[in-house]
Amino acid sequence: MNNGKYGEFGGQYVPETLMREIINLERSYNFYKNDEKFNQELDFLLKTYAGRPSLLYFAKNMTKDLNGAKIYLKREDLNHTGSHKINNVLGQALLAKYMGKKRIIAETGAGQHGVATATAAALLNLECEIFMGEEDIKRQALNVYRMNLLGAKVNSVKTGTGTLKDAVSEAMREWTKRVDDTLYVLGSVMGPHPYPMIVRDFQSIISKEAREEILKVEGKLPNAVIACVGGGSNAMGMFYNFISDKNVQLIGAEAAGLGIETEKHAASIAKGSVGIFHGMKSIFCQDKFGQIAPVYSISAGLDYPGIGPEHAYLHKTGRAKYVPVTDEEAVLAFEYLAKTEGIICAIESAHAVSEAIKLAGQMKKEDIIIVCLSGRGDKDVASIARYRGREIYE
């Protein structure tokens, strides 16, 4: 294995109190990932509970309208709980069960990972606590209630900027308090090793299916795959099985907020630098003294000041390209997809859709783009209405 390093990135920068459990987690994962019973059970849950495989949908209207490359949408929004997050959560919650844990904890930004974790906890009869920033709790009130309905306790995190990064910090703190009976179910391809690897493996089903499906339908590989990137889990899932297909462009759309020329963005690759935070060496938005910068995006799920270490590596080696997409561009793409294809996608995913719209027109008609539609947009409808000046609350 790579010992948790992706080139210079990755590693295990956590307090000593967590080290033994993190090593235990790695060992357990490496054992169960090859365990027949574990895999059968996970596979069964993914098919019968999460609704996999997810559709690869040919966006005919969009393709016609943009008059360029053929656009396919990988419909992770149709999964149970409405996003790709369930892929990873079922894997980790099942792992927790096999490891003999009684309780799982998780951070959440938009609430998608929190809802998915609370769902898996209800299904597998695990105690569940979610950490969510105070600001995000306001932005995503319905998801908070959803988690409560599912039996999870939601803790409001008031420290720092009251957003995703603070929720991650607080979940890590909570884990150091109760390490024996608890597994921290991390939601993205970030944090200390083995999380970037575990989450990537569980999410890689996205590109495994997409690759098989596109070969079946089109008889060839896509020219580009596009996904939005916060921490980067749906993007890593969408990229992974295409990494060795050198002719497939891998494109990550990161949140440029009000624009990367302003202070109000969450574009780690465009504006960040190498640092060490939340257990990993990677690329972060930070000041010259290494203080982590407050970040901003209309999308709570992309509102994170860093990116997973494997993405940092794909960026550094040039294998993947990361582009900034502003709030305004994402909202336009959100509205466009709704009108053109009848699909209301998550505002996170709309960042990827926006990039596809830009790119498609520059490509040939026989070219193919696959966009990962990481989540559905029900949770965002009210905030988009407010963005457009309609004072609607959930």
Partner 1 sequence: MSNAYFNENVFNNKKAFIPFLTAGYPSLADTERFILKMEEAGADLIEIGIPFSDPIAEGPVIQNASTVALKNGASLDKIFEMIENLRKKTNIPLAIMSYVNPLFKVGYDNFFKRCQGLDIKAVILPDVPYEEKGEIEEIASCYDIDIISFIAPTSNERIQKIAKDSRGFIYVVSSLGVTGTRDEITTDLNSINEIIKQTTPTKTAVGFGINNPIQAKEISKYCDGVIVGSAIIKIIDKLGSNSDEAIYNYVKEMKEAINS
The catalytic residues are 85, 107, 374
- Residue placing its CB nearer to partner 1 in the complex, 22 or 382: 22
Nearer to partner 1, 191 or 301 (CB): 191
Q: Which residue in 9, 12, 313, 343 binds partner 1 (CB under 8 A)?
A: 12
CB of 94 to partner 1, least distance (A): 24
User: Is residue 29 near partner 1 by the rule CB under 8 A?
Assistant: no
| Using rule CB under 8 A, residue 19 touches partner 1 | yes
Per-residue mark of binding to partner 1, 178-207 (x: CB under 8 A): xx----------------------------
58 touches partner 1 (CB under 8 A): no
Segment contacting partner 1 by CB under 8 A, of 87-95, 168-176, 217-225, 248-256: 168-176
CB 153 to partner 1: min, Å: 18
Query: Strand runs (DSSP E) across 67-117, as ranges?
Result: 70-75, 103-108
Dihedrals phi, psi of 373, to nearest 5 degrees: -90, 90
**Rounded to the nearest whole angstrom, what is the least distance from the CB of residue 275 to partner 1 in the complex?**
5
Interface with partner 1 in residues 261-300 (CB under 8 A): 273-279, 281, 284, 286, 288-292
Question: In angstroms, rounded to a whole number, what is the distance separating the alpha carbons of residues 327 and 297?
Answer: 7
CB of 4 to partner 1, least distance (A): 9
Residue 30 touching partner 1 (CB under 8 A): no
Nearer to partner 1 (CB atom), residue 310 or residue 341: 310
Residue 108: φ, ψ to 5°: -150, 150
Residue from 21, 26, 209, 348 that binds partner 1 (CB under 8 A)? 21
- Of positions 1, 36, 67, 177, contacts partner 1 by CB under 8 A: 177
- Give 26 or 77: the residue with its C-beta nearer to partner 1: 26
> Are the beta carbons of 354 and 115 closer than 8 angstroms?
no
Residues 6+ apart with CB under 8 A from 69: 63, 223, 224, 359, 360, 363, 364, 365, 367, 368, 369
d(CA 94, CA 103): 12
In this structure, what token pair is assigned to residue 48? Answer: 């019968």
| Gyration radius of the chain over CA positions | 19
Residue 367's Cβ-count burial label (10 Å; 0-12, 13-18, 19+) is: middle
Contact between 133 and partner 1 by CB under 8 A: the answer reads no
Nearest Cα residue to 13 out of 270, 290, 255? 290
Gap between the Cα atoms of 331 and 363, Å rounded: 23
Of 169, 207, 340, 374, which one interacts with partner 1 (CB under 8 A)? 169
Locate the DSSP E strands across 109-246.
Answer: 127-133, 153-157, 182-184, 224-229
- Report residue 369: phi and psi, to 5°: -120, 135
Q: Which one, 143 or 182, has the nearer CB to partner 1?
A: 182
Residues that bind partner 1 (CB under 8 A): 11-21, 159-160, 165-166, 169, 172-173, 176-179, 273-279, 281, 284, 286, 288-292
